[in-house]
Structure 1
Amino acid sequence: MLTIDLATRDAIIAHARRDHPDEACGVVAGAIGSDLPTRFIPMLNAAMSPTFYEFDSGDLLKLYREMDDNDEEPVIVYHSHTATEAYPSRTDINLAGEPGAHYVLVSTRDGAHEDGPVDFRSYRIVDGEVTEEEVSVVDRYVDGTDVPTEQKAEH
């Protein structure tokens, strides 16, 4: 299960809407071993494409050096789909190189890029196998734990 705070979930959705019609992408880092996404890092889609995303290799190298210096790891790797459901494509599955990460997809299709609910889903992708997981949205993290909220992930 992915536990994510409301502000970070909303920031991912806002990024997806802002970059529409191109796919948005980014990472949410957290302390190594914590499984808590705490540092939101929106990235530039170097492909600038509505059907494909690609992290800029220089930006990605810089990010991994920062995470290493901060004892962090990628807890969430996210991107948006602009015309299809929030489910990993064959390309997404082939490029999934972080077996410990949650892969979050947001769909901004059918006007969701403007307003209203979006499809926000999380997956584990290990060795080409995709497993959808529950998303628990919390108000905030307190001492490495979560505080429940009434608001659930939008579907």
Structure 2
Amino acid sequence: MLTIERAIVDQIVAHARADHPDEACGVVAGAIGSDRPTRFIAMENAERSPTFYRFDSMEQFKVWREMDDRDEEAVVIYHSHTATEAYPSRTDISYASEPNAHYVLVSTREAGSTDFRSYLIVDGEVTEEEVTIVEAQGSDSVN
């Protein structure tokens, strides 16, 4: 189960809407081993494409090095789908390389409506998981 603060969900959705019609992407870092997404990091979609995303390799190197320096890891890796449902594509599954990460997909295909879903992707196996949105970490859930 992914437990995530509403403010971070709002940042992910805002990034997805701002980059539409291209896919948006980024990570939410958290302390190593905590499974708590706490630091939102919007990243550039190097492909600038409505059907595919790829982190810029230099930006990814910088972000991952910064997470290492802060004893963090990528707790959430997110991107948007602009014309399809929020479900991992074959390409998404093949590129999923962080077995402990929650892979969040946001569909922006319908104006005024956003589908926000999370998956675990390990060795090509996709498992949808429940998302609990809280006002602040440690508070009661609101969704």
**TM-score past 0.5 threshold:** yes
Specify the alignment match of 2:126 in structure 1.
130
Structure 1: distance between partners of 2:141 and 2:69: 32
Structure 2: distance between partners of 1:73 and 1:14: 23
**Equivalent position to 1:148, from 117, 124, 140:** 140
Answer yes or no: is 1:81 the counterpart of 2:50: no
Structure 2: distance between partners of 1:148 and 1:108: 28
TM-score where L is the length of structure 2? 0.98
Pairwise CA distance, 1:110: 2.2
Correspondence list, 1:1-155, <5 A:
1-111=1-111, 115=112, 117-141=113-137, 146-150=138-142, 152=143
Deviations 1:94-117 (CA, angstroms, capped at 9, x unpaired): 000000000000000022xxx3x3
How many residues of Structure 1 are paired with residues of Structure 2 in the alignment?
143
Pairwise CA distance, 1:148: 1.6
Structure 1: distance between partners of 2:71 and 2:98: 16
Deviations 1:59-89 (CA, angstroms, capped at 9, x unpaired): 0000111000000000000000000000000
Deviations 1:91-149 (CA, angstroms, capped at 9, x unpaired): 000000000000000000022xxx3x3100000000000000000000102xxxx2024
Runs (5+) with no aligned partner, structure 2: none
Structure 2: distance between partners of 1:121 and 1:110: 15
Deviations 1:1-48 (CA, angstroms, capped at 9, x unpaired): 000000000100000000000000000000001000000000000000
TM-score where L is the length of structure 1? 0.91
Runs (5+) with no aligned partner, structure 1: none
Give SS of 1:148's match: coil
